[in-house]
């Protein structure tokens, strides 16, 4: 067999489980201590924890292309929205100091690289068949 990355049917399931553990460790303190407080994203901590965990749980139990697509959309749509807002914010300040044009180019470059990395990560971990992996 090839010594490079060989796809195993359960690799997307393990990746979702790993992300669920990381998300739990990251958010557990805020969810337990301040569940209904508003986060910096404008959403309460329970919602911020439950929705991604629900999507990851669905993917761990039924790793299909549909569940993978839901997770990819749940990550990519807010990421694209935040990227557009960051670029728009920098563009609004373009006519301020002289160095803002270089800052706008930097924000666009970082946004492009970030979106490419996230899309590549989701492409690598996609389920290869339409059934349960």
Question: Rounded CA gap, 110 and 90, in Å?
Answer: 13
**What three-state secondary structure class fits 120?**
helix
Give the mean pLDDT of 110-133.
73
Chain-centre distance for alpha carbon 56: 12
23 and 74 Cβ atoms separated by less than 8 Å? no
Query: What pLDDT score was predicted for residue 102?
Result: 66
Give the mean pLDDT of 85-114.
70
Query: Does position 74 have pLDDT exceeding 50, yes or no?
Result: yes
**pLDDT tens-digit readout, 25-39:** 988 888 899 888 887
Give the mean pLDDT of 89-96.
65
Question: Rounded CA gap, 79 and 123, in Å?
Answer: 16
Domain ranges in the chain are 8-62, 64-128
Please give the span between the terminal C-alpha atoms of the chain, in angstroms, as a whole number.
20
Query: What pLDDT score was predicted for residue 133?
Result: 45
Query: Does position 50 have pLDDT exceeding 80, yes or no?
Result: yes
DSSP character at residue 131 = S
pTM for the structure as a whole: 0.61
Q: How many CB atoms lie within 10 A of CB 120?
A: 10
Q: How many CB atoms lie within 10 A of CB 106?
A: 11
Query: Does position 101 have pLDDT exceeding 70, yes or no?
Result: no
47 and 106 Cβ atoms separated by less than 8 Å? no
Query: Does position 54 have pLDDT exceeding 80, yes or no?
Result: yes
128 pLDDT band, cuts 50/70/90, is low
């Amino acid at each position: 067999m090839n010594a490079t990355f060989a796809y195993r049917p359960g690799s997307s399931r393990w990746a979702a489980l790993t992300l669920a553990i990381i998300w739990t460790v990251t958010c557990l303190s805020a969810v337990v201590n301040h569940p209904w407080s508003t986060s910096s994203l404008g959403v309460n901590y329970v919602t911020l924890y439950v929705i991604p965990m629900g999507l990851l749980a669905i993917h761990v139990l039924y790793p299909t292309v549909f569940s993978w697509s839901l997770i990819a959309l749940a990550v990519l749509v807010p990421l694209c929205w935040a990227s557009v807002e960051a670029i728009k914010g920098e563009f609004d300040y373009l006519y301020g100091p002289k160095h803002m044009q270089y800052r706008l180019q930097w924000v666009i470059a970082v946004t492009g690289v970030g979106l490419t990395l996230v899309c590549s990560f989701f492409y690598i971990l996609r389920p290869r068949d339409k059934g349960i992996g």
